[in-house]
Amino acid sequence: MPVNKPTTPLTPDEALAKLEQFCVYRERTPREVRDKMRELGVTGETGEQIFGLLHDEGFFNEERFARAFAGGKFRINQWGRVRIRLELQKRQIAPHLIEIAMEEEIEQESYEALLSKLLAQKRVELEKKGDAQARIKTAASLVRAGFETELVFRLLK
């Protein structure tokens, strides 16, 4: 059974240093920064001053986060726009910033090329197994990955 050691409150300088490290590690949303501040016990006027300083110094930026998130999830995880948009909404990113990220980070040609490649791979995989419903299962799998239903069926034809 772990014993909780009494923790001494952080000085403002210590809190600022910890939060700077937290923000430097990867892109953060304002909500993530506020949650970390609460976790560190940084609240009140001091907390607001630290939050403002971090924001002014560019340690976190909502638009930068949205763009990095959208681009990474598309290129690395091969998510569709629907899923990326939902994840950004869950992280409380402003709707206009979500749209900017989607337009700037995901080109239509690349998007359709990735979808076509994934469609072909999944269909071949299911047809090798002798699955009679390969077409339907392929479409369902890509819709679950966050691609638009209409686009999936248009490219599946």
Q: State the Cα torsion 122-124-129-135 to the nearest 10°.
A: 60
> What residues does each domain of the chain span?
12-56, 62-105, 108-156
Give the pLDDT band (50/70/90) at residue 10.
Answer: confident
- The percent of residues in the chain predicted with pLDDT above 90, rounded, is 75
- pLDDT per position as a tens digit, 57-95: 999 999 999 999 999 999 999 999 999 999 999 999 999
- Residues 102, 108, 110: CA angle, nearest 5 degrees: 105
- pLDDT per position as a tens digit, 121-145: 988 888 787 777 888 888 999 999 9
pTM of the entire predicted model? 0.84
**For the residues 30-45, what does the mean pLDDT come to?**
92
Instruction: For residue 111, give the nearest of 87, 84, 141 by alpha carbon.
Output: 84
